[in-house]
Homo-oligomer: A and B are copies of this chain.
């Protein structure tokens, strides 16, 4: 198998240990004579996987007892509507820090009109920063943020002290840094960056915020449905949950979230330092809001015409997935938990090599 440095924005590089465990479970699940995709989701062996996966979430994020952990499907995009369906009563507030935050807000507005309020937006500078000055309406049922903006490479690095229920889409930075769950009412995300493969969505919800809308909530959109049945109201996405389970075991073996954070800080520093040092490149996000997960950079002034040449060199050196999103241009290296430091080093080396070629 050829060696690649996988910087895909998600789906992305996963721990080899999780993939190998997936392969073994596909061959045979726990001595059952069947593949994991052939067993009953009501079997004791599968229920043990569900229970262990939840326990790993609780342990790794130190989730308080009054929170439930759910494994759903439909991706973060489905949470964009489940959040207002379950929490919206009179008013909702949204912070717009990128395309996904904008979509989350649009869904609330589609459902409840002007009662969904956008408190601030960084659209004025193409989402290259996180707005800091704004007022959250005190009568809002919740305040929705997107902690990491995959496309633009910005990240909210601290847990906000929020006067209303704080709801966070953590699709692209969950498990990458310590989070004080108790400051949030609800945290959700797609698994396909740091906690597994596409097809399962995690939700961490403080139970007391539910059941207050007085509206009919369609069964599958109602968090209480899934709480009641332990995320098994209907057949769960078995294989994606298995990969999540194995990915979390790997996170734990790496020293947990604190261990991941230390490595992520190191990896990001390596690459940001090179971007700042190298005269050929420049970063796109405000320094204080730079993401540890998605590192965006473009060609520096005077080197704009060399973009394709660098892309070709990077490809030759085994880099995959470094093309920036079309709304930013240039390059984006996604350095999620499972991206090894050696891949970041290879990219840095490639940038240095390119600088020398031009001098």
Contacts and interface: CB of A to CB of B under 8 A. Distances in A.
A235 interface: yes
A197 interface: yes
A358 to B, nearest CB: 28
A218 B9 contact: no
A340 B40 CA distance: 18
B77 A74 contact: no
Contacts of A33: 1-4, 318, 320
Interface stretch (A22-30, A255-263, A264-272): A22-30
Contacts of A12: 38
B40 A235 contact: no
A192 interface: yes
A37 interface: yes
A77 B233 contact: yes
Contacts of A216: 110-111
Which residue, A8, A75, A237, has most C-beta atoms of chain B within 10 A? A237
Contacts of A192: 235
A218 B107 contact: yes
Contacts of A239: 197-199, 239-240, 243
A40 B321 contact: yes
A190 B235 contact: yes
A253 interface: no
A342 interface: no
Given A238-B197, A240-B237, A11 B39 contact: yes
Which residue, A77, A199, A240, has most C-beta atoms of chain B within 10 A? A199
Main secondary structure of the interface of A (DSSP, over half): loop
Given A10-B235, A81-B221, A197 B37 contact: yes
A10 B37 CA distance: 9
A188 to B, nearest CB: 13
Interface string A97-140: 00000010011001100000000000000000000000000000
A31 interface: yes
Interface in A32-51: 32-35, 37-41
Interface in A121-167: none
A234 interface: yes
A311 interface: no
B40 A8 contact: yes
A11 B238 contact: yes
Given A190-B235, A239-B239, 16 more contacts: A1-B27, A4-B33, A6-B34, A14-B38, A33-B318, A74-B74, A80-B219, A81-B221, A103-B219, A110-B219, A190-B234, A198-B237, A198-B239, A199-B199, A199-B240, A239-B243
21 contacts: A1-B33, A4-B34, A8-B39, A19-B37, A26-B26, A37-B198, A74-B220, A77-B220, A80-B219, A81-B218, A81-B219, A81-B220, A107-B218, A111-B218, A197-B238, A198-B237, A237-B237, A237-B240, A239-B239, A239-B243, A240-B240
